Structure 1
Amino acid sequence: MSGERHWPTLDDVRALDAADTLGTCRDRFALPDGVIYLDGNSLGALPRASAARIAQTVTREWGGDLIASWNKHGWIDAPARLGARIAPLIGAAADEVIVADSTSANLFKLIVAACQARPGRSMILTEPGNFPTDLYIAQGVATTLPGRQVSAAADIVAAIDGDTAVVVLTHVHYKTGAMRDMHAITAAAHAAGALMLWDLSHSVGAVEVDLEGCGADLAVGCGYKYLNGGPGAPAFLYVARALHGTLASPMTGWMGHAAPFDFGDDYAPADGMKRFLCGTPPIIGMAALDAGLDTFDSVAMADVVAKSRALSELLIAGIDARCPGLTMASPRDAAMRGSHVSVAHPNAWEICQALIARGVIGDFRAPDVLRLGLTPLYTRFEDVWQAVEIIADVLARETWRDPAYAVRAAVT
């Protein structure tokens, strides 16, 4: 579909689905009937195996084997084991990734560690409009560490200088879907002696990520979007192996200790990634994430990336051809776009609610953006085609003007 802007027939898109090498992956998910789910960039769909995996963890392991499960069922090794499963999806080695805590907590750990590794530099550099938790955590670090400050610059490369300790950026922008050039920005950070930290929350599992190839130092990401780990799933963090011996986690919890079950009074950091653990691993959440990662079994990321681009090209073609009044908020160049397409409209909230009422689930981001996520493992070309037709109808008939759709909910 690359480069095309005509609108195909339903038979055309059904032929694309029939030829899709990832088509059978949809069967790995328990998607509800009558719903076109275009919000996997916010919360991944439920894998069919998740409920049974969680039930096994709760009833057989916790219920039957109780505390013996830490050894018998490998609970204690879950953070490293799941990190090793995520590593191939982000271009990392198995011993460079660990699952722990939330994205926000992991950002705090790594920003503080990066600042402490660059003691003569004061600047934490990011961009305006970055995902709020990235900005808030950076601001919190700056108020915690004496002499540190946050700078937000639209031209990141131009803003990197000898006072920059760490550059903190999201690879795929949460609102627009714009994708940053990891190689170029990482190289610019290194040329100035700064460390580079990437937030992969809107990338991992949907677009190509090559942390080792671009020489990235640090990264974080969540487990509940394209990794399908469920709401509030544990997050992950990456530290390049070359930094394992030099970076220190500021959250010196007992699970990050070199010998946690010696129960010594003084902290001694574990080797490698385990030093970035803090509290007791959330085993039930990790079981759900493990099932989510199963959905990538025997899947080539090259196929995922190719389908993501084809789906988004089809969606953009449909918006251009069938949906006047919507303004494209995402880059049109597929190489500069992640796996969601965003459009702007003054009444994007109301349109989003009208679509949900018709079974098309996307989401809204203030002040005027409708986001439509494309998850290659379960989104079909027919889903995109049908969604466009429903969007066109909602716009043409202005059903979004129903006063019921103007009521704002707590979660958008």
Structure 2
Amino acid sequence: MTSADPVTVEALADEASTLDAADPLRDRRDLFVGAETSLVYFDGNSLGRPLRASVVRLERFARDEWGGRLIRGWDESWMQLPFDIGDALGRTALGAAPGQTVIGDSTTVLLYKLVRAAFDAAVADDPDRVEIVVDRDNFPTDRYLVEGIAAERGGRVRWIDVDLSRGVTADALAAAVAPSTAVVLLSHVAYRSGYLADAGALTRIAHDAGALIVWDLCHSAGSVPVQADAWDFDLAVGCTYKYLNGGPGSPAFAYVAARLQDRLTQPIQGWMGTADVFAMGPAYTPATGMRRFLSGTPPVVGMLAMQDTLALLDEVGIEAVRAKSVALTEFAVRVADELLAPLGVSVASPRDPAERGGHVTLSHPSMREVTARLWAQDVIPDYRDPGGLRIGLSPLSTSFGETLQGLRAVEAAVRAEG
């Protein structure tokens, strides 16, 4: 196979240069560690680059707060961090009023807590509500948890079949919910295809059926605008190590609408969720508000770095981030059409940017081998079966030139495997 038309490549390079020059967020790229290197990073939707400010913050914390204040730090600020950072995250990334978001455990643990609490509340109100609705292409953790909770609580799972290049539509959800539905669990952005669900419409469908809905915001928080309060969310969970750059394994967040907080009983009763943390009483008495959704000691070190990204989001605004994200993915799709489609590579993500989150999936039978080849060349996408190479474009740290460079490497790797 011959290489791409040089005229086409030159035109794309000119377009990338023009887009970078006009990008109002271009200077923010320099704030990230590693952005100055030749490495192409297409995996910001799995693990974001660290901000340089976070390197300073972590070093200062270890030296001055942990090393200097020692256990006094708990009284001075650490006990309040899950709530202060949660409110900042809610304000900048979730469209949530204060007092509804907290930083806590891993995504898996928080999803378990909220889905189980929602299921128990629904059953308490109506014993016939025993179904949890979830789609077959939701992230594995979400599906595994739902199956486990249904088995644990005597419920059952109602599955939605979806197009792998899209996600859950309003019609599909409307056909799945019923008077037997207790809880609906959906992802705002599909992890495989990048499909951006109409969260407001789907929430209304769940509510019209009398069910509670839990949103997985892992692939949208920090990349796609969310209006949790305006869209009448019940509950939501998301991770902080993707577009929020919290670092490997940084703790997840939980959102619980104020109207539900004192109604729900979370199932992992630990000392940090009690009404009086240091009473050490003989019986568990849940706290009011978001504290009741905590269990154990807050992971303080793990929640430090995300503060710098939240401050950056507060400065530039999530709408500007979304505009850059749309421009990046639109450019990636155009490049894929020009350079990769002739090689049999198809775009396995929605082409309408209004239905697409922050990543684009490219499909080809050789993509597992292509991914391995690219990693050896310092071009870092990730792979998802069946045959999908995900191009994760983190708007604050990714340039159009980097995007073109990486996709040209994908082209060369597909040719080499072909």
SS at match of 1:394: helix
Are 1:376 and 2:395 an aligned pair? yes
**Any idea what SS the aligned residue of 1:220 has?**
strand
Quote the residue 2:90 is aligned against.
Answer: 87
Q: Which moved more, 1:194-203 or 1:6-15?
A: 6-15
Deviations 1:199-251 (A, max 9, x none): 00000011121111211101000010000000100100001111122111111
Quick one: which amino acid aligns to residue 227 of structure 1? Answer: L
Q: Please tell me whether the aligned partners of residues 255 and 277 of structure 1 are also in contact (alpha carbons under 8 angstroms).
A: yes
Match of 1:54 in 2: 58
The answer to whether 1:156 aligns with 2:159 is no
User: What's 2:164 paired with?
Assistant: none
Matches of 1:303 and 1:288 in 2, distance apart?
22
Percent of residue pairs bearing the same amino acid type: 44
Q: Is the counterpart of residue 351 in structure 1 residue 370 in structure 2?
A: yes
Could you list the runs of 5+ residues in structure 2 that have no partner in the other structure? 1-7, 162-171
**How far did 1:288 drift?**
2.3
| Deviation per residue, 1:49-90 (Å, 9 max, x gap) | 222211222222112211001122x00001001101110211
Q: Where has structure 1 moved over 3 Å in runs of 4 or more?
A: 6-9
Match of 1:3 in 2: none
In the aligned structure 1, how far is the partner of 2:59 from the partner of 2:142?
34
Partner of 1:70: 74
Give the 3-state SS of the residue equivalent to 2:52 in structure 1: coil
Gap regions ≥5 residues in structure 1? 1-5, 402-412
Q: Which amino acid aligns with 1:17?
A: D
Aligned position for 2:186 = 169
Letter in 2 for 1:163: S
- The residue number in structure 2 matching 1:367 is 386
**Displacement after TM superposition at 1:283 (Å):** 1.0
State the shift of 1:388 in Å. Answer: 2.2
Task: After superposition, give the CA deviation of every residue in 1:99-143 in whole Å (9 maximum; x if it has no partner).
Answer: 000110011111111111111210011000210000111111112
Q: 1:333 aligned to 2:358? A: no
CA distance in 2, matches of 1:294, 1:215: 26
Q: Equivalent of 2:33, from 30, 34, 41?
A: 30
Is 1:12 matched with 2:31? no
Instruction: Find out whether 1:137 has 2:140 as its counterpart.
Output: no
Which residue number corresponds to residue 198 of structure 1? 215
User: Which letter does structure 2 place at the counterpart of 1:87?
Assistant: G
User: For residues 143 and 51 of structure 1, what CA distance do their matches in structure 2 show?
Assistant: 44
Q: 232, 241, 245: which is aligned to 1:224? A: 241
2:3 matched residue in structure 1: none
User: Following superposition of structure 1 onto structure 2, how do residues 196-275 of structure 1 map, counting pairs within 5 Å?
Assistant: 196-275=213-292
The one-letter code sitting in structure 2 at the alignment partner of 1:55 is E
> Aligned equivalents of 1:97 and 1:54: distance in 2?
23
Match of residue 178, structure 1, among 184, 195, 209 = 195
Q: Does residue 394 of structure 1 match 2:413?
A: yes
Mean CA deviation greater in 21-30 or 187-196: 21-30
One-letter amino acid of the counterpart of residue 407, structure 2? V
Deviation at 1:395, TM superposition (A): 2.5
In 1, the alpha carbon distance for the partners of 2:280 and 2:87 equals 27
Is 1:104 the counterpart of 2:123 in the alignment?
no
| Cα deviation 1:269-288 (Å, max 9, x = unaligned) | 11111110110001111112
TM-score when normalising by structure 1: 0.92
Question: Over aligned residue pairs, what C-alpha RMSD do you find?
Answer: 1.4
- Is the contact made by 1:234 and 1:289 (CA closer than 8 Å) also made in structure 2? no
